[in-house]
Amino acid sequence: MGEFSEDEKAAMRETAAERRRAKRADAAAADAEACVQKIAEMPPGEREIAQRVHELVLAAAPELTPKTWYGMPAYAKDGAVVVFFQAAAKFKSRYCTLGFSDSARLDDGLAWPLSYAITGMSPEVENLVTSLVTRAMRPQD
């Protein structure tokens, strides 16, 4: 059995910190602050994308609460992550990713995307993010 990489170890430490924060009396405020802090720590280009995604998610679905998930910004309903953002630098990827969990109501036939690459913001990308988040939060049929 192999050893964990430094990135995997860091993700485990961040997950442990997330669990500790969840036990605090002011968990929601601590989670929201951690989300904002993770965005602030991103490289400039990614930080701008993440900040705009943050604003769009909260405007489209104010019932979602910001938190972190594996050390990245995420937005949850009743404690369950619905939408999350992954910085490219964190995962050594060539693009940032906006992703949705199985709690999201994006169902469309027999197959549908749950992850979207974002390399920059434009009115079209902003509209897509808003539309996806709104769809993700629609009531269960």
CATH code assigned at 123: 3.90.1150.200
Query: Looking at the domain assignment, is residue 64 inside a domain?
Result: yes
Query: Looking at the domain assignment, is residue 1 inside a domain?
Result: no
On the CB side of 23, CA atoms within 13 Å amount to 4
Q: What is the mean pLDDT of residues 118-135?
A: 98
Coil/strand/helix, residue 101: coil
pLDDT at res. 106: 95
Query: How many independent structural domains does the chain possess?
Result: 1
Query: Looking at the domain assignment, is residue 12 inside a domain?
Result: yes
Q: What is the mean pLDDT of residues 115-128?
A: 98
User: Domain containing 84: what range?
Assistant: 6-136
Query: Looking at the domain assignment, is residue 141 inside a domain?
Result: no
Coil/strand/helix, residue 39: helix
Query: Looking at the domain assignment, is residue 46 inside a domain?
Result: yes
pLDDT at res. 119: 97
Q: What is the spatial distance between Cα 129 and Cα 116, in angstroms, rounded to a whole number?
A: 9
Q: Return the beta strands (E) in the chain as ranges.
A: 65-69, 72-77, 80-86, 96-100, 115-118
Of the pLDDT bands very low, low, confident and very high (cuts 50, 70, 90), residue 40 is very high
Please state the separation of Cα 63 from the chain's center in Å: 15
pLDDT at res. 61: 97
Which distant-in-sequence residues (6+ apart) come within 8 Å of 46 by Cβ? 87, 88, 89, 96
Query: Looking at the domain assignment, is residue 16 inside a domain?
Result: yes
Q: Please state the φ and ψ torsions of residue 22, each to the nearest 5 degrees.
A: -65, -25
Query: Looking at the domain assignment, is residue 70 inside a domain?
Result: yes
Q: What is the spatial distance between Cα 77 and Cα 108, in angstroms, rounded to a whole number?
A: 21
pLDDT, tens digit (0-9, with 9 covering 90-100), for 72-91:
999 999 989 999 999 999 88
Strand partners, 77: 80
